[in-house]
């Protein structure tokens, strides 16, 4: 396994594996025994960065979520896992009632909600301190100052370490970070967005915004990260839920543009040259890029996880990377 440091402050920054494991469906669609086997294999391979959220996976059983956090808490206790595994969680998108959704009934990002939801996450995970806590989705009903101060209070109390943000417009991330800096408070240091080798259209209206998808990495976010290398990007759905390799998983309208077939052709060519799978080339391209990315991979079996783990040691040549980058 390889590692990198996320965060700047010596008191909160952490060294994490360059491949993160997503636990979204653990405890719901992925049963407990399989979830434990995947987590055990990840830890055995040196993986140290597990991702969840307080609303995972509310849509499976019509709940409010929390099943994934609760399973991770049981796994930690049963295996005696301590601070060597960094567990990141999120708040803000938990439905306020069973049977509802974050699109129409989210808990939001008020200081009160941040405090209460973080406490519940710590209880489910069985930890005194959340290593990394994300603002999951935007809350335009709450002043940004309140959200910034709400997160900062928990860092000051040492119940939260690093702060992160997911699925926000870049300008709101920057505004929140500026507010924090001006007040001498900790700000967002880890960004989690959809990102992969194939480029998504960013003009598609989403459930959260008519202006396009807030959760997709575009030129604005890449430029932002390039300008501030102290920020870390975690890429969710890097393997497009199997669409790179499975005919029964169509890419969909987000990838309906002229660049997709060109990049797919380059990807398959490089996979053939390396002897690796297409999925492994995607992960290696993300990890080793000029703007390095931490891919967040899901797995429903140990075999799936092993394929992703092998990508950590795949070194693309300068020529192969240039070929992949040039296709558009």
Q: How confident is the model at residue 320 (pLDDT cuts 50, 70, 90)?
A: very high
Compute the Cα dihedral for 187, 64, 101, 106 and give only its sign.
negative
Q: 326: part of which helix (H) or strand (E)?
A: helix 318-326
- Structural domain contains residue 322: no
Instruction: Kindly report whether the global pTM for this prediction surpasses the value 0.85.
Output: yes
CATH number where 92 lies:
3.20.20.100
Domain count for the chain, please give it. 1
**Measuring CA to CA, how many Å separate 146 from each of 32, 106, 114?**
38, 17, 10
Helix axes 302-310, 32-44, angle to 10 degrees: 20
Residue 258 main-chain phi, psi, to 5 deg: -65, -25
Range of the domain at 214: 3-256+278-317
Q: CA 17: distance to chain centroid? A: 13
Compute the Cα dihedral for 114, 119, 124, 127 and give only its sign.
positive
- For residue 154, pLDDT beyond 80: yes
Q: Are 162 and 12 in contact (CB under 8 A)?
A: yes
- Structural domain contains residue 265: no
- Structural domain contains residue 29: yes
**Measuring CA to CA, how many Å separate 280 from each of 137, 162, 277, 304?**
29, 29, 5, 11
Q: How confident is the model at residue 207 (pLDDT cuts 50, 70, 90)?
A: confident
- Structural domain contains residue 248: yes
Q: How confident is the model at residue 275 (pLDDT cuts 50, 70, 90)?
A: very high
């Amino acid at each position: 396994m390889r590692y990198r440091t996320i965060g700047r402050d010596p008191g909160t920054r952490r060294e994490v594996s360059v491949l993160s494991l997503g636990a979204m469906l653990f405890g719901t669609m992925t049963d407990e025994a399989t979830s434990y086997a995947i987590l055990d294999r990840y830890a055995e391979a040196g993986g140290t960065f597990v991702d969840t959220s307080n609303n995972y996976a509310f849509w499976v059983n019509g709940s409010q979520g929390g099943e994934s956090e609760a399973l991770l808490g049981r796994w930690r206790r049963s295996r005696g896992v301590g601070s060597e595994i960094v567990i990141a969680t999120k708040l803000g998108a938990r439905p306020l009632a069973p049977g509802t959704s974050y699109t129409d009934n989210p808990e939001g990002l008020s200081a009160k909600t941040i405090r209460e939801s973080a406490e519940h996450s710590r209880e489910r995970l069985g930890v005194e301190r959340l290593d990394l806590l994300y603002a999951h989705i935007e809350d335009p009903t709450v002043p940004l100052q309140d959200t910034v101060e709400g997160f900062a209070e928990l860092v000051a109390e040492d119940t939260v370490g690093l702060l992160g943000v997911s699925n926000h417009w870049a300008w709101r991330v920057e505004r929140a970070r500026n507010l924090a800096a001006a007040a001498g408070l900790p700000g967002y240091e880890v960004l989690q967005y959809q990102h992969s080798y194939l480029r998504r259209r960013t003009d598609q209206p989403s459930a959260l915004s008519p202006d396009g998808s807030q959760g997709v990495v575009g030129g604005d976010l890449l430029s932002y990260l390039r300008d501030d290398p102290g920020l870390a990007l975690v890429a969710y759905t890097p393997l497009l839920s199997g669409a790179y390799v499975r005919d029964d998983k169509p890419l969909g309208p987000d990838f309906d543009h002229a660049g997709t077939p060109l990049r797919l052709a380059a990807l398959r060519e490089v996979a053939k040259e390396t002897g690796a799978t297409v999925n492994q080339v995607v992960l290696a391209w993300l990890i080793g890029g000029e703007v390095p990315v931490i891919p967040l991979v899901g797995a429903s079996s140990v075999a799936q996880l092993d394929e992703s783990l092998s990508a950590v040691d795949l070194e693309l040549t300068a020529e192969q990377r240039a070929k992949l980058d040039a296709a558009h």
